[in-house]
Amino acid sequence: MISSNDLRNGVTILENGQLWTVIEFLHVKPGKGSAFVRTRLKNVKTGSTVEKTFRAGEKLERATVENRQMQMLYNDADGFHFMDQETFENVTLQRDLIGGPADFLKDAMVVDVQFHDETPIGVDLPAHVEIRIVETDPGFKGDTATNATKPAKLETGAVVQVPLFVESGDTIRIDTRDRRYIGRVNS
């Protein structure tokens, strides 16, 4: 059991028989009345989000989630295939179970796969990944003066917005949480 006062981003709880991960939380202590915790929860299975309010100190059931380091082998029509680094066991996850971060998974990338009751429930990517651009419009001299962006197709097939001076073949750093361009990587 966990107290609603101990909720933090990334904590997984069981609520109404479903697994939920805390995306955002805010402790509110109004001038009159009792304190409460306002949260935004993401359903681990479906990916839907809901906003829920808990009384301060309310007891919730914390889900035991185990992270295992696994290497992504490849992806195909069946899903994304991962191999456990220690036991060499293979696991396949569907794209909808992984969600948006699936756009940044590369072959041979090592990530944490989350398990609940020996069932894979998701993938935890690093906050930043380095990916090569395979296709984008050419940049021109002097394009660094404005904050304008252009679409760029990455080696994984994802499309992100990058500054005008970035060119095809460049390796860039991307924030996997909000798909934001961070910078070029010197190769």
CA gyration radius, the chain: 20
The overall average pLDDT reported for the chain is 86
Q: Are residues 50 and 10 in the same domain?
A: yes
Strands 79-84 and 119-124: unpaired
Stated pTM of the model: 0.69
Q: What is the pLDDT of residues 36-91, one digit of tens each?
A: 999 999 888 777 889 999 998 899 998 888 889 999 999 888 889 999 988 999 99
Q: Are residues 105 and 146 in the same domain?
A: no
Buried b / exposed e along 117-135 (16+ C-beta atoms within 10 A): eeebbbbebeeebbbebee
Residue 14 sits in which domain range?
Answer: 2-62
Domains in the chain, number: 3
Q: What is the pLDDT of residue 38?
A: 93
